[in-house]
């Protein structure tokens, strides 16, 4: 008899690892596919630090264990509030979490997800297809890199995205234009300068924003009430985005889209400011309108704040211009399935229900693709805790689960059939029957 898993989680970053841990704790038959902490291990340069505070950077297990503090304690160290944490330490924490908190990670590459029968067929590059009643897509941000339009006509070697560099030392002695005004742009530029390159920051913004030094965790009650701590920073607005993503989901779609795109905008960490300002020149208020390859170099056409045109000639351009959720980038999802999904407003992110389920029954999304539904916390590690618990409850509701079998957490088990018209694999209204195969 062919094995059918309750849940296949695609992606083994902070969201995928947390979802799988909660699913195993709920007694679901779950498989976790992907390379653990891949984007953190492969796409962030040596010398980078985590911007969020350690206490708000935990992955989520159902028993509340396996925190970053617990990992650091196992090494005889402490992750302290107000002290930046190296990215390497956080990546190692994620690998430790993967070994201790959930099912074993299967390091395979998913190539296709297609509806089949009452669930889905998941193909990988390494083995036979898997069958699953439900699928959770938690692929992180790497499929959604965003580049300025002006760069897209350049040969590939002339420009790159900031997430494409594990090692920046190869730029030593070369002029590099770094586009953007957020943490990735500012820290990439500072690291380039520290490794012997000659970077220049180019930003449309007329001024750079810098976060302030974090307030102490322990403060007088009135001060704490006036400016509360949250997983995304201090202040009531940050607290709402951090702690009430369920409330964000109840807002009208255009409002959610605007919040996801603009809330917690570009800003540099307080501990980076001196390193950046001492070594990196910046062209602020400059807009990129043209880019051309001239031999092995790249010529950028910029518009100044006064409307004048200037030319910048560099060896390479790094676009630290973020990530934008877009279902069309998920080529592993069958094209017909992608086209059938209801999206948020005019964007290309899936509209999700309270349990992170899309309009296609049994298909769930987490991370950046959930931001237009649940708000900006989905762009940060802190959102993994809210997501994992809610999403697994959504999976159990879809499966009609009654709870874990005693003594067998994580084992595959029979599931109660859902009510007619609501079970896994039911076709959305208007979708052709010939599609399910």
pLDDT digits (tens, 9 = 90+) for 87-133: 999 999 999 999 999 899 999 999 999 999 889 999 999 989 999 99
Specify the pLDDT at position 422: 35
**When comparing pLDDT for 181 and 220, which is higher?**
181
Residues forming a β-bridge with 287: 303
Phi, psi (degrees; rounded to nearest 5) at 282:
-135, 135
From residue 234, how far is each of 211, 231, 246 by CA, in Å?
10, 8, 20
Side-chain-side CA neighbours of 241 within 13 Å: the count stands at 25
pLDDT band (50, 70, 90) for residue 266? very high
Topology of the domain comprising 149-210+267-319: FAD/NAD(P)-binding domain (3.50.50)
Query: From the CB of residue 330, how many other CB atoms can be counted at a distance below 10 Å?
Result: 21
| Among 215, 217, 12, residue whose Cα is nearest residue 98 | 12
Q: Percent of the chain having pLDDT more than 70?
A: 91
Residues 325 and 343: their CA atoms lie apart, in Å, by 11
Residue 408: pLDDT above 60?
Answer: no
pLDDT band (50, 70, 90) for residue 75? very high
Task: Please list, residue by residue across 200-222, b when 16 or more beta carbons sit within 10 angstroms of its beta carbon and e when fewer do.
Answer: bbbbeeeebeebeebeeeeeeee
pLDDT digits (tens, 9 = 90+) for 136-155: 999 999 999 999 999 999 99
Mean pLDDT in residue range 198-205: 97
Residues 306 and 74: their CA atoms lie apart, in Å, by 56
Mean pLDDT in residue range 288-294: 96
Structure tokens at 86: 């190296």
Residue 214: pLDDT above 70?
Answer: yes
Q: Give the N- to C-terminal CA distance of the chain in Å, as an integer.
A: 19
Specify the pLDDT at position 11: 97
The residue assigned the tokens 């030593």 is 172
Task: Please list, residue by residue across 104-129, b when 16 or more beta carbons sit within 10 angstroms of its beta carbon and e when fewer do.
Answer: ebbebebeebbbeebbbbbbbeeeee
Mean pLDDT in residue range 159-177: 96
Specify the pLDDT at position 18: 98
| Among 5, 11, 12, residue whose Cα is nearest residue 116 | 5
> For the residues of 190-211, what is the DSSP string, one character each?
HHHHHTT-EEEEEESSSS--BP
pLDDT band (50, 70, 90) for residue 224? confident
Side-chain-side CA neighbours of 30 within 13 Å: the count stands at 32
Q: Judge if 4-144+323-435 and 149-210+267-319 fold alike in CATH terms.
A: yes
pLDDT digits (tens, 9 = 90+) for 353-400: 999 999 999 999 999 999 999 999 999 999 999 999 999 999 999 999
Residues 201 and 295: their CA atoms lie apart, in Å, by 23
Tell me what the pLDDT averaged over the chain comes to: 89
Residue 430: pLDDT above 80?
Answer: no
Give the lowest-confidence range in 263-267, 270-274, 431-435: 431-435
Residue 426: pLDDT above 70?
Answer: no
Beta strands in 43-140 (DSSP E): 49-50, 85-86, 105-106, 110-116, 119-124, 130-137
Indicate the pTM of the whole model: 0.89
CB 356 within 8 Å of CB 366: yes
Residues 232 and 245: their CA atoms lie apart, in Å, by 12
CB 316 within 8 Å of CB 174: yes
| Among 100, 135, 90, residue whose Cα is nearest residue 115 | 135
CB 159 within 8 Å of CB 321: no
Residue 277: pLDDT above 80?
Answer: yes
Mean pLDDT in residue range 231-258: 91
Structural domain boundaries in the chain: 4-144+323-435, 149-210+267-319
Residue 419: pLDDT above 50?
Answer: no
| Whole-number CA gyration radius for the chain | 23
Q: How many residues can be counted in the chain?
A: 437
Residue 434: pLDDT above 50?
Answer: no
CB 273 within 8 Å of CB 192: no
The residue assigned the tokens 């094209």 is 335
Quick one: CA dihedral 119, 36, 336, 338, positive or negative?
positive
pLDDT digits (tens, 9 = 90+) for 13-42: 999 999 999 999 999 999 999 999 999 999
Specify the pLDDT at position 149: 95
Specify the pLDDT at position 160: 97
Residues 302 and 372: their CA atoms lie apart, in Å, by 32
Specify the pLDDT at position 86: 94
**When comparing pLDDT for 405 and 53, which is higher?**
53
Question: CATH second-level architecture of 4-144+323-435?
Answer: 3-Layer(bba) Sandwich (3.50)
Phi, psi (degrees; rounded to nearest 5) at 327:
-60, -30
pLDDT band (50, 70, 90) for residue 185? very high
3-state class (DSSP) for residue 112: strand
Residues 303 and 285: their CA atoms lie apart, in Å, by 8
Specify the pLDDT at position 431: 33
Mean pLDDT in residue range 72-87: 92
Specify the pLDDT at position 1: 61
Residues forming a β-bridge with 110: 124
């Amino acid at each position: 008899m062919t094995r059918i898993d309750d849940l296949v989680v695609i992606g083994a970053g902070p969201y995928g690892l947390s979802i799988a841990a909660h699913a195993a704790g709920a007694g679901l038959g779950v498989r976790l596919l992907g390379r653990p902490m891949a984007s953190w291990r492969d796409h962030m340069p040596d010398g980078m630090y985590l911007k969020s505070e350690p206490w708000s950077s935990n992955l989520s297990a159902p028993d509340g264990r396996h925190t970053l503090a617990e990992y650091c304690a196992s090494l005889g160290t402490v992750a302290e509030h107000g002290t930046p944490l190296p990215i390497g330490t956080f990546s190692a924490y994620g690998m430790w979490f993967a070994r201790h908190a959930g099912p074993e990670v299967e390091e395979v590459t998913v190539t296709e997800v297609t509806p089949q029968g009452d669930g889905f067929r998941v193909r990988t590059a390494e083995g036979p297809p898997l069958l699953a009643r439900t699928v959770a897509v938690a692929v992180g941000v790497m499929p959604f890199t965003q580049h300025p339009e002006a760069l897209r006509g350049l040969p590939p070697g002339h420009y790159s995205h900031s997430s494409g560099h594990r090692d920046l030392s190869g730029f030593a002695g070369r002029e590099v234009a770094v586009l953007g005004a957020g943490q990735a742009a500012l820290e990439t530029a500072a690291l380039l300068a520290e490794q012997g390159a000659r970077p220049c920051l180019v930003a449309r913004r007329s001024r750079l924003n810098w976060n302030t030094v974090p307030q102490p965790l322990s403060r007088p009650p009135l001060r704490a009430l006036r400016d509360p701590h949250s997983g995304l920073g201090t202040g009531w607005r940050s607290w709402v985005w951090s702690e009430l993503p369920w409330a964000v989901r109840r807002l009208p779609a255009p409002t959610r889209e605007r919040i996801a795109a603009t809330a917690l905008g570009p800003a540099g960490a307080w501990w980076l400011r001196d390193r950046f300002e001492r070594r990196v020149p910046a062209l602020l208020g400059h807009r990129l309108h043209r880019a051309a390859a001239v031999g092995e170099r790249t010529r950028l056409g910029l518009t100044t704040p006064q409307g004048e045109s200037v030319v910048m000639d560099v060896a390479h351009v790094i676009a630290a211009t973020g990530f934008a959720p877009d279902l069309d980038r998920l080529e592993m999802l069958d094209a017909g399935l992608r086209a059938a999904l209801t999206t948020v407003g005019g964007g290309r992110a899936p509209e999700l229900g309270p349990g992170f389920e899309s309009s296609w029954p049994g298909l769930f999304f987490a991370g950046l693709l959930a931001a237009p539904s649940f708000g900006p916390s989905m762009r940060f590690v802190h959102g993994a805790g809210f997501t994992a618990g809610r999403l697994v409850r959504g999976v159990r509701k879809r499966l009609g689960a009654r709870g874990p079998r005693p003594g067998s957490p994580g084992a595959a088990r029979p599931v109660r059939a859902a009510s007619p018209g609501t079970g896994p694999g039911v076709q959305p209204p208007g979708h052709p029957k010939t599609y399910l195969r």
